[in-house]
């Protein structure tokens, strides 16, 4: 009976470890896709949903991969962004109270620049969300201050 209980315990342990592996590595993603509208413009963006994803952002990618990346801040705050490990330039759309509250176009990638020397990008007032899009997309898409923003 002891041998049988040992086998049952071992199989049960393997099953639990397998479930933990699936939950940790296969079901947990760093990003979620969603749709966002800015004025009459509809974009398909990734939401950085984990602290790691928010820290990494679009760094170490060769392209944006979607229309942009949305950061939903944990509280209304003045956020600070940099271009660490970026391989392409960005535009920043700063969002507060469901509207475009500030715009930072044409933030270039800074390859070879030390972390201490990277330029910091930030709005002048507190925000609730930040949208990173390809450099030049603010002008290309006609995004302007005061545009209504809806996130589905």
Check which CATH number belongs to the domain holding 69 and give it.
2.60.120.1140
What's the number of domains the chain is made of? 1
Task: List, as one string, the DSSP characters of 15-76.
Answer: HHHHHHHIIIIIS--SEEEEEEEETTEEEEEEEE-SHHHHHHTTTT-SS-SSSEEEEEEEEE
Assess if residue 18 is contained within a domain: no
pLDDT, position 7: 75
Assess if residue 21 is contained within a domain: no
Identify the domain containing residue 147 by its residue range: 30-151
pLDDT, position 54: 87
Assess if residue 98 is contained within a domain: yes
Assess if residue 5 is contained within a domain: no
pTM: 0.79
Query: Which pLDDT tens digits describe the chain residue by residue (152 residues)?
Result: 677 766 776 766 666 666 555 454 443 456 789 999 999 999 999 999 788 888 899 999 999 989 999 999 999 999 999 999 999 999 999 999 999 999 999 999 999 999 999 999 999 999 999 999 999 999 999 999 999 999 99
Assess if residue 16 is contained within a domain: no
């Amino acid at each position: 009976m002891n041998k049988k209980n040992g086998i049952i315990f071992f199989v049960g342990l393997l099953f639990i470890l397998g479930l933990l592996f699936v939950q940790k590595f296969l079901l947990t993603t760093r990003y979620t896709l969603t749709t966002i509208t800015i004025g009459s413009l509809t974009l398909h963006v990734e939401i950085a949903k984990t602290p790691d994803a928010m820290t990494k952002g679009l760094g170490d990618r060769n392209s944006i991969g979607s229309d942009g990346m949305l950061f939903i801040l944990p509280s209304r705050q003045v956020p600070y962004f940099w271009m660490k490990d970026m391989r392409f330039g960005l535009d920043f759309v700063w969002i507060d109270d469901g509207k475009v509250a500030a715009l930072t176009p044409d933030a270039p990638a800074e390859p070879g620049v030390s972390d201490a020397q990277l330029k910091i990008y930030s709005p002048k007032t507190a925000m609730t969300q930040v949208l990173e899009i390809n450099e030049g997309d603010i002008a290309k898409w006609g995004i302007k201050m005061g545009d209504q923003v809806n996130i589905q």
